[in-house]
Chains A and B, each alone.
Chain A
Amino acid sequence: MIIRGVFSMTIINRLKSLFKGDNEETDINNDVSNTSDDVQVTSSQIESEPVVAEEEPVVEVEEATVEESEDSSEDLASDDIEPIEEKVEALKEEIHEKVEAKKEEIQEKVETIKEEIHEKVEAELDAEEADEDSKNNDKERDKMTLLTDKELLTDANRDPDFTAEFIDSGIETVKHCFQCGTCSGSCPSGRRTPYKVRQIVRKCLLGLKEEVITDDALWMCTTCYTCQERCLRSVKIVEIIKKARNIAAHAGYMAKPHKMTGVFVMNTGHGVPINDATKALRAKIGLPEIPPTTHAYPEALEEVQKICKITGFDELIGYDEATGGLKE
């Protein structure tokens, strides 16, 4: 486009030297220069190579047009000066119009290209974001490590008192784990749930209390002991899980069905109280309807209920003595 501006000035200069003095030259020159400047400014805003490349053919076409008008100017010069001046004026106007039209055309193209570039950049950004997302998902799936780029654990994340609770309750073997993963590899729950026993043992040793007790997966262990039987370091893994659950329960993480089992024991002395069907079945095979347990001895039931108050179990599960159910 710079080329085009310079080129326009060349036409004017040549016409001027034929027909006119220097007075009008300045005006025309300014006019054309402004135009070229405008175009230049617009083009510099794009700063895009393809734009310049696309413009090149336009320059060639323009040259051809100018050559034609040059010939006609020479022809006119041999005739009359007055009509030539008029024609020069007409040509000047024509050139001006063409320049203006080109300016508009270029601006339109510039706008189109700007939009295209914008769209391409947006698309690229989207693609980058999507790529980043999938990388994050990969990290989410990879639970084999406690450390990811996102969350770097420091001493601030650790609660030494949490680790001490395991040691103090006699599970010193938590310190013996060398993270071989035999436990997780043997775990029937780990095959079907997010329960990762090796990771929980590590977290307990590191003191990552919140991570351990807020994780629902902690409750996916059936206490089958396969991990503990196979542990190369004789770590009391099931004891660790049960201790972690104790701490979780005391921090308020306890499922309602579990609290209800506690309620049954407090009300009857049995986690699975007798029902009419069982009473009938017992009678049918010659047993007393009611077994000689807390079901038959109220004073025995009172002992169980008193134990639950002494240890604070009633408060732990939120037992409501008035209703014989849960407070909530």
Chain B
Amino acid sequence: MEGASCCPAPGVFGSFDEETWATIAARNLTLAEDIGADIMTECNGCFGSLFECNHMLKESEEKKAEINANLAEIGREYKGTINVKHFAQILRDDVGFEKLASLIEKPLDLNVAVHYGCHFLKPTATIGIEDNAENPSILDDLVEITGAKSIDYKDKMMCCGAGGGLRSRDLDVTTSFTKEKLDHMTEAGVDAIVNVCPFCHLQFDQGQIEVNERYGTDFALPVFHLAQLYGLAMGLSAEELTFDAQRIDATPAIKKALGE
């Protein structure tokens, strides 16, 4: 989407000034309206900002008028003609399990801890992705199509700790969230973590190093975005999937997954 900007980050911008948050998000929505396409995000945070703003402006004429007054000054207008969808939502609802299964070239032998993140299914009152936010299945179902197994673990739906502007403001608190999640994932005996949000991804990868530094632990759970897991199962290499750019070495997990 040419000319797109930061969504902007819901936890930070949404916490400072709702009007700025909504105007920048609405500008991004108008870019999609211009090309007549829905927006797909591979990030819970972007999904949260763009979906919520789109929903708010579609629901409230008053808010729409207020934001359009701002957009008019840069020659833009929000119309409310497109939808915002999450990557995993599109895989399940638009592509479908059957089609996905037919694309798998290398069924993966891997036990994974699925991390949903917070701004994917919630708040359920507005998001409308069909599932149960307290006990969901969409990601577990998508993971198992690749051959990998989703292992249940304690407090599975808990936040990674990075959101709401907490990571930039108070890393110690954020890290303590992540430590709790890593403890529970490790107890369940998984080989890797699967998520659908680059910010959660960052928090489990970079944040895992920070947990180990702060708590003297030796966690080494590689982190897979759902797209990377599918890429691996569809025959892409670790390099093509940029696993070499991550902090936690994914090589052992990838070897196990591919039966090497």
Contact = CB atoms under 8 A, between A and B. Distances in A.
A33 interface: no
Given A229-B133, A304-B24, A224 B163 contact: yes
Contacts of A222: 11, 118, 159, 161-164, 166, 174, 177
Contacts of B4: 292-294, 300
Interface stretch (B13-21, B89-97, B183-191, B215-223): B13-21
Interface in A268-325: 269-272, 277, 281, 284-285, 292-294, 296-297, 299-301, 303-304, 306-308, 310-313, 316-317
B11 A223 contact: yes
Secondary structure at the A interface, as helix, strand, loop or mixed, is helix
Given A222-B159, A222-B163, A317 B16 contact: yes
A29 interface: no
Interface size classification for chain B: 35 or more
A221 B170 CA distance: 11
Interface stretch (B104-112, B120-128, B249-257): B120-128
A189 interface: yes
Given A224-B159, A226-B157, A294-B3, A310 B23 contact: yes
Contact of B74 (A219, A260, A306): A306
Interface residues of A, number: 61
Contacts of B9: 261, 271
Contacts of A316: 16-17, 20
B207 interface: no
B176 A306 contact: no
Contact of A246 (B18, B162, B168, B176): B18
B169 A223 contact: no
A46 interface: no
A249 B17 contact: yes
Contacts of B76: 303
Interface stretch (A2-10, A17-25, A36-44, A251-259): A251-259
Given A225-B118, A281-B242, A293 B15 contact: no
Contacts of B19: 311
Contacts of B20: 307-308, 311, 313, 316
B5 A238 contact: no
Contacts of B239: 284-285
Contacts of B245: 277, 281
B6 A311 contact: no
A84 interface: no
A207 interface: no
B16 A254 contact: yes
B70 interface: yes
Interface of B: 1-6, 8-20, 23-24, 27, 60, 70, 73-74, 76, 118-119, 122-125, 133-134, 157-159, 161-166, 168-170, 173-174, 176-177, 180, 239-240, 242, 245
Q: Which 7 A-B pairs have the closest CB atoms?
A: A300-B3, A225-B122, A224-B159, A269-B5, A222-B164, A257-B168, A245-B15
Interface of A: 169-170, 188-189, 192-193, 219-226, 228-230, 234, 236, 238, 242-243, 245-246, 249-250, 254-255, 257-258, 260-262, 265, 269-272, 277, 281, 284-285, 292-294, 296-297, 299-301, 303-304, 306-308, 310-313, 316-317
Given A224-B118, A226-B159, A312-B17, 15 more contacts: A192-B173, A219-B166, A222-B11, A222-B159, A225-B118, A229-B124, A234-B125, A255-B165, A297-B3, A304-B24, A306-B73, A307-B20, A308-B24, A310-B70, A311-B17
